[in-house]
Homo-oligomer: A and B are copies of this chain.
Amino acid sequence: MTKRKQARHHQIIAELTASPVVRISSLATQLGVSAETVRRDIDELTRQGLVERTYGGAASQHIGFQPAVLDRDRMAVIERARIARHAAGLVGDGDVVMIDAGSTTTQLARALAARPLSFTVLTNNIDVAAALGHNPRCRVILAPGDFDGRERGLFGAETTAFLHRFHADLAFIGASGITADGATEVETRAVWVKREILERAARTLLLVDSSKFDSRHLEIVCPLERLGGIVTDRVPGGALGLAIRRAGLNLEIAPVDQNMLDSPQKNV
């Protein structure tokens, strides 16, 4: 292993920490060697398990990335992005916000990161923290606890005890389902955290996409009237819609983003 070769390997890995994919052709130009050499370099790094080979280039090994989301939850990505974007607009400057663990709330954090506000976030989800961590105007406090790799969050007695010591202006929680009886959840451990958040925040908004309407799960997190409002993508009908109106909840419907069509185009 010569110095030059080693330096190239380092450079390739460095590129991959910046971008998730690199192309052999661009690396060849950039490193001043032939594409064939780069190809051999990547093959070697692949054997060492440091990068992943792709057609035309290499990709970074996303070790603990997001095998998270359960299969059932995978299908509402676009709706959830809309909901998250809308919810992010409800946060004001200087707010202290609690954010629950969940796929919608992770999206919320990403949307929040783009807003030009100063605020403080308390969360038990590492992706929420990671998304907001680079915003210098935002203070992120992560709760302790037992780490769950599927939910990518922290749960247990340590978590609730920690949250108990704080107070928030606004909180966002997710749920597995919502019925006229209230928000329902599959994960028992997550329920305790959600209840603690409800307890510690002046106002709590539930983030659910319409696929969760009338979906009843193991445990009821709280009755509808305990919530401050619901952010979703469609007006719920039937018994659920009635119950929501009766409970006097603030119902926020995330609008379809029309100007999505001419947003910046990124080419590789």
Contacts A/B (CB < 8 Å), 16 sampled = A20-B52, A46-B265, A47-B263, A49-B264, A50-B81, A52-B268, A54-B54, A54-B57, A55-B268, A63-B127, A132-B147, A133-B148, A134-B150, A143-B144, A144-B144, A144-B162
Contact present for A146 and B139 (CB under 8 Å): yes
Contact present for B10 and A52 (CB under 8 Å): no
Give the complex CA separation of A53 and B146 in angstroms: 36
Q: Is A238 located at the chain interface by the 8 A CB criterion?
A: no
From B53, B63, B81, B266, A52 is in contact (CB under 8 Å) with B266
Chain A residues proximal to chain B, CB less than 8 Å: 6, 9-10, 13-14, 17-18, 20-21, 23, 46-50, 52-57, 59-60, 62-69, 74-78, 81, 110, 113, 126-127, 129-135, 139-150, 152, 154, 158, 162, 257, 260-268
**Which 9 interchain pairs have the tightest Cβ spacing?**
A133-B149, A64-B130, A144-B144, A140-B147, A134-B149, A14-B74, A126-B126, A64-B131, A55-B56
Contact present for B56 and A54 (CB under 8 Å): yes
Chain B residue at minimum C-beta to C-beta distance from A103: B17
Give the complex CA separation of A129 and B146 in angstroms: 10
Give the complex CA separation of A110 and B23 in angstroms: 26
A217–chain B nearest beta-carbon distance, Å: 21
Total identical chains: 2
A9 contacts across to B, CB distance below 8 A: 78
Give the complex CA separation of A150 and B129 in angstroms: 12
Give the complex CA separation of A262 and B46 in angstroms: 11
Contact present for B131 and A63 (CB under 8 Å): yes
- Known contacts A74-B10, A147-B141; is-contact A266 B134 (Cβ 8 Å): no
Contact present for A53 and B266 (CB under 8 Å): yes
Contact present for A74 and B17 (CB under 8 Å): yes
From B76, B152, B158, B267, A141 is in contact (CB under 8 Å) with B158
A76 contacts across to B, CB distance below 8 A: 10
Contact present for B140 and A152 (CB under 8 Å): no
A68 contacts across to B, CB distance below 8 A: 17
Chain B residue at minimum C-beta to C-beta distance from A45: B78
A66 contacts across to B, CB distance below 8 A: 17-18, 60
